[in-house]
Structure 1
Amino acid sequence: MVACILTSDENASSTLESNTTSITAFSLPAWQLALWAMAYLFLVLVAVTGNITVIWIILAHKRMRTVTNYFIVNLALADTCMATFNVIFNFIYASHNIWYFGQAFCHSQNFFPIMAMFVSIYSMMAIAVDRYMAIIHPFQPRLSTLSTKVIIGAIWLVASGLAFPQFFYSTVTVDEGATKCIVDWPEDSMVKLLVYHLAVIVLTYFLPLLVMFVTYSLVGVTLWRHAPGSQLVRVPQRPRHVAAKKRFVKTMVVAVVTFAICWLPYHLYFILGIFHQDIYCHKFIQQVYLALFWLAMSSTMYNPIIYCCLNQRFRSGFRLAFRCCPWATPTDEDQSKLFQSPSLLMTIRQNHTKDVSPSTKKSSSPESRM
C-alpha cells in the first residue's frame, strides 16, 4: 500500500494514531484481522499443497513428462513461490501498514509479484501455443525437451527484467513513526512511471490473454467443427483421441478464464490509482485492497483444483498422492493412467507415413498428448 497521510470520509485530515505502539489508523480490529488471516492462510495451504502435488505428479511419472506438462510444472512452480513468499508477507503489511521485514525483503516483496505473475501467464500462453501447434499443425516438428527448458528459462529471465525497476527503487522509509516499504521512484520520472505501469499491465495481462484467446479459438474451431483444410482432418482420429484433446483444451480454457477473472479487478485498482493516487489514503481502501489482493492471489490455488476436476490423469495422480486419506483410494486404473507410456510421436509419424502410402493396409491414429 502507498505511504500517505490517511484520510477518511469523516475527517480528511486524520493522521496516524500512534507512533509508539506500532498501531496505525490502518490497523484492523482483532475480529476482522482474524477473519482475513484465516482466509489468507486457507489460500496459502491450498495453493502450496495443490501445486506441489501437481509438480510431483508430472515429474515422478514418465508418462506425464511432456512439453505441455513441463510448462504446467513451470506454472505450478511460479504459483507456489507466489503463495509462499508473497501472500502472507503482503497480507501482514496491508493489514497494519507497517513493514516488519527489513530492507532486503522489501526489494523482494516488490519484485517477486510481477515476476511470478509474468511467469504464470506466459507459461499458460506457451501451453496454448503448444496445443495450437500439436492440433492445427500435427506434422510440424515439436519442441524438444532442451528447447522447452530454454523457453522456460527465457520466460524467467524476461520476467526478472520486467520486474527489476520495482526491485531497484524499493526502499524502507519511516513515515510519521511507521516503517513503510515503498517503491521510491525519482521525482522527474512520472511519465516514465506511468508508461512502465501500463506496460506491465499490458505485458502481464492483456497481450498474453489476447494471444490465448486467438489460439484457443482456432483450436476450438478445429476440434469441434473440423475446419476445412486443417491437418487434423487429414489425420485419422479415433473419437476418444479427439475427446481427450477437447478435454485438455477445456481444462486450460477454464484455467485461463479463471486467471483473467481473478486478476482483472486488481489491475483496474492500480490503473485507477495511477490517475487518482489519493484513493490509497482513504480508510475504506484497506478492505478493498485486501479483498482484491485475496482474489488475485487465489488464482494460485485454482489450477490444481481445475486439473483434478477436469483431467483424468491428474485426478488419478491426486488419488495416488493422497492415498493415505480415506477419501482418496487409488485404483489399478489410476496406476495404468500414469505409468503406461505409449510414444505419441512415433504413432503420429506412423499415421502420416501410412496415410500417404498406397500399400498401407491399416492405419492407427495419433494419441492425445496429455
Structure 2
Amino acid sequence: MEPLVPPGRYSTSNGSVDTELVSRTVYTILAVIMGVMSVTGILLNVLVIVVTVKNRQLRQPLNYALVNLAICDLGCALFGGVPTTVTSAMGYFSLGRVGCVLEGFAVSFFGIASLCTIAVISVERYIVVCFPMGAVEFQTRHAVAGVVLSWVWSFVWNTPPLFGWGSYELEGIKLSCAPNWYSRDVGNMSYIILYFSLCFAVPFSIIMVSYSRLLWTLHQVTKLQVSEAGSTNRVGKQVARMVVVMVLAFLLTWLPYAAMALAVIMDSTLYIDPLIATIPVYLAKSSTVYNPIIYIFMNKKFRGCASTVLCGRNPWNTESQMPECETTVGSIIKSQRVSPKESLKD
C-alpha cells in the first residue's frame, strides 16, 4: 500500500519524505503525547468495563450509559489514538488512502457515539435531580434506548462518506483523518453542514441545556434549608462543582474542534496553521482519558469496586459512604414531602 503523502510534503522513489510540515522534534513530541493518552485511555476504559461486569451492584440504568461511554472511548483510543501515535512517530501518514478512510470513519463513528452518550448522561442527571419524586423516572429501558440511539445516530451520519456523499481527508499536520471540512464541493458541503448540525450542535445543545437546568435546580434546592445547618448548602456546592467540572471538560475537549470546523465551513478562504489546527484534534482525542476519570472514577462506589478488583480490598469501606449527587439532592426534596415544582419555588 502506498503511503498517503500530504500536500506540501514530497516522497522520493524509495518512499522517504524530503519535506516536513514541522520539525522532527515536533513529530516526536506529538507521538509521545498521543501515545501516553492512548495507553492511558485504553487502560482506564478497559478497567471501567471489567469492573462493571464483575460487580452486579454497578448495573444501574446510568451505568449502562457510562459503560457505553467507556466502549466509545476505548474505540477512539484503539482506532484513532494508536494509529496517530504510529504516524506521528513516522512523521507522515503511512496507512494509504484506504487506511485514511477507515481511520476517519472509525474515529468519527466512536467519537460521535461518545458525544451522544454524554448527552444521554446529561439528560439522565437532569431527570433524576429535577424530578426526584418520580414524576419522570429514568429506567433501564431508557438507558438502553439512549445507548442504541447513540450508535444508530453515529452510524447513520458517518457512513455517507463511504458511499460518496462527503469524504474523509487528512487534517492538521496530516497525521490523522477526519470528515473533510475544507472541500467546497456542493455534495460535500451539504453533508458537512448536516453533519455538524446534527452530530455536534444537537448533542452540544442537549448537554448545555440539561446541565444548565440541573445547576438552576441545585441553586433552588439550597434555599430550602431542610437539613442540618449548612449540610444542604454543602451538598449543593459539591454537586455543582462536579457538574461544572463535567461541563468544562466537555468544552475543553470538544468545543475547540467544533469551533475550528465551523470556522472552516463558514469561510473557505480561512487559513489555519497546520500545527495550530492539530491542537483541537489532540484535545478531542484526550476525551478518552478525561471521560472515565470525570464521569466514573469520581463516583466513590465505583472507586471502591475498582480497588477491590485491582487490590482485593476497598479503602473507602470504613468511611461513611457519600451518596451520589442525584440521590442526595433527591432525598433533600423528598424529606420535605413536597412536589418538585413546589420545592423549586422561590
Per the normalisation by structure 2, the TM-score is 0.73
2:223 equivalent to 1:218: no
Residue number among 157, 182, 190 corresponding to 2:185 in the alignment: 190
Q: CA deviation at 1:298?
A: 0.7
Residue number among 118, 125, 139 corresponding to 1:124 in the alignment: 118
Structure 1's 82 and 25: CA in aligned 2 closer, same or farther, altered over 3 A?
same
Q: CA deviation at 1:100?
A: 2.3
Residue number among 59, 66, 69 corresponding to 2:63 in the alignment: 69
2:73 equivalent to 1:110: no
Residue number among 302, 311, 314 corresponding to 2:290 in the alignment: 302
Contact 2:62/2:143, CA 8 A, preserved across alignment: no
CA distance, structure 1, for counterparts of residue 213 and residue 260 of structure 2: 32
- Amino acid in the other structure paired with 1:132: Y
Structure 1's 308 and 118: CA in aligned 2 closer, same or farther, altered over 3 A?
closer
RMSD: 4.1
Contact 1:111/1:163, CA 8 A, preserved across alignment: yes
Q: CA deviation at 1:27?
A: 6.5
- Amino acid in the other structure paired with 2:154: A
Residue number among 280, 291, 304 corresponding to 1:316 in the alignment: 304
Structure 1's 157 and 248: CA in aligned 2 closer, same or farther, altered over 3 A?
farther
- Count matched residues: 316
Q: Which runs of 5+ in 2 are unaligned?
A: 170-175, 339-346
Residue number among 149, 167, 176 corresponding to 1:154 in the alignment: 149
Residue number among 232, 249, 258 corresponding to 1:258 in the alignment: 249
CA offset digits 1:199-221 (Å, max 9, x no partner)? 32233333322222222222222
CA distance, structure 1, for counterparts of residue 310 and residue 13 of structure 2: 49
Contact 2:112/2:154, CA 8 A, preserved across alignment: yes
CA offset digits 1:270-324 (Å, max 9, x no partner)? 33444347847xxx51x33443322221111012232466432233234334428
Q: CA deviation at 1:89?
A: 1.7
CA offset digits 1:20-73 (Å, max 9, x no partner)? 333152375543332221111100011111122222333322222221121111
What does residue 140 of structure 1 align with? 135
Structure 1's 61 and 21: CA in aligned 2 closer, same or farther, altered over 3 A?
same
What does residue 341 of structure 2 align with? none
Matches within 5 A, 1:22-33: 22-26=16-20, 29-33=23-27
Structure 1's 209 and 196: CA in aligned 2 closer, same or farther, altered over 3 A?
same
Structure 1's 332 and 214: CA in aligned 2 closer, same or farther, altered over 3 A?
closer
Residue number among 317, 324, 327 corresponding to 1:333 in the alignment: 317
CA distance, structure 1, for counterparts of residue 217 and residue 64 of structure 2: 24
Q: Which runs of 5+ in 1 are unaligned?
A: 7-14, 174-179, 357-370
CA offset digits 1:312-368 (Å, max 9, x no partner)? 2233234334428xxxx7326179969x9xxx8xx98xx79x959xxxxxxxxxxxx
What does residue 42 of structure 2 align with? 48
CA distance, structure 2, for counterparts of residue 144 and residue 256 of structure 1: 24
SS at match of 1:22: coil
Q: Which has the larger radius of gyration?
A: 1
Structure 1's 192 and 302: CA in aligned 2 closer, same or farther, altered over 3 A?
same
Per the normalisation by structure 1, the TM-score is 0.69
CA distance, structure 2, for counterparts of residue 51 and residue 251 of structure 1: 20
Q: CA deviation at 1:244?
A: 6.3
Structure 1's 242 and 146: CA in aligned 2 closer, same or farther, altered over 3 A?
farther
Q: CA deviation at 1:242?
A: 8.9
Matches within 5 A, 1:230-269: 247=238, 250-269=241-260
Structure 1's 334 and 83: CA in aligned 2 closer, same or farther, altered over 3 A?
farther
Contact 2:24/2:91, CA 8 A, preserved across alignment: no
What does residue 368 of structure 1 align with? none
Q: CA deviation at 1:91?
A: 4.6
Structure 1's 184 and 19: CA in aligned 2 closer, same or farther, altered over 3 A?
farther
Q: CA deviation at 1:253?
A: 4.0
CA distance, structure 1, for counterparts of residue 262 and residue 41 of structure 2: 27
CA distance, structure 2, for counterparts of residue 39 and residue 144 of structure 1: 39
Structure 1's 147 and 266: CA in aligned 2 closer, same or farther, altered over 3 A?
closer
